Amino acid sequence: MTTAKDIMSPGTQWIPRYETLDRAAQMMRDHHVGALPVSDPDQGDRMCGIITDRDIVVKCVAEGHDPARVTCGDLCEGTPRWIDAAADVSEVLREMEGHQIKRLPVVENKRTIGMISEADIARHLSDEKLAEFVHRVYAR
């Protein structure tokens, strides 16, 4: 059985919800990632969302807001999604397809240990399964 832990990219950088989007963009650049889990220090550093490079562009810059004045917490929406490290890859696909998300944090013993992205999925699926995944995630 292939698990979430088998296909994830290990290591995840966090950003606190009170940090600004310009800082998030700098961290993404420095760590060569397109998304960061957002933590809430007031809730024991629990994940309160994920901020993506696209969020910064579409929900901040394109709206005329200053990324040095908007916080990560301002853009976090809804319940953050994640998957247990031991989950089968089929569960990973269901979670990502069901919520139309492109990145999924992987949790083991209540700690985030990695992230699964579209690229991680692509490396582990047949062309047919990958085409199905892309259709389901991007169909809107």
DSSP states along 34-56: SEEEEEEGGGTTEEEEEEEHHHI
| CATH code, 9 | 3.10.580.10
pTM of the model: 0.80
pLDDT at 51: 92
CA distance 24 to 20: 6
pLDDT at 139: 67
User: Measured between alpha carbons, how far apart are the two ends of the chain, in Å?
Assistant: 31
The CB-side HSE value for 85 (13 A sphere, CA atoms) comes to: 13
Contact 112, 5 (CB under 8 A): no
Residue recorded with tokens 């890859």: 89
60-85 pLDDT, tens digit each: 999 999 999 999 999 987 778 899 99
Contact 69, 80 (CB under 8 A): no
Angle formed by the axes of helices 127-138 and 89-99, nearest 10° = 30
Domain around 85: 4-138
What average pLDDT does this structure show over 36-48?
A: 84
Give the total number of structural domains in the chain. 1
What average pLDDT does this structure show over 79-107?
A: 89
pLDDT at 140: 58
16-39 pLDDT, tens digit each: 999 999 999 999 999 998 899 998
Whether 138 has a pLDDT exceeding 80, the answer reads no
Average pLDDT of the chain, as a whole number:
88
Per-residue confidence at 125, pLDDT binned at 50, 70, 90?
Answer: confident
pLDDT at 46: 82
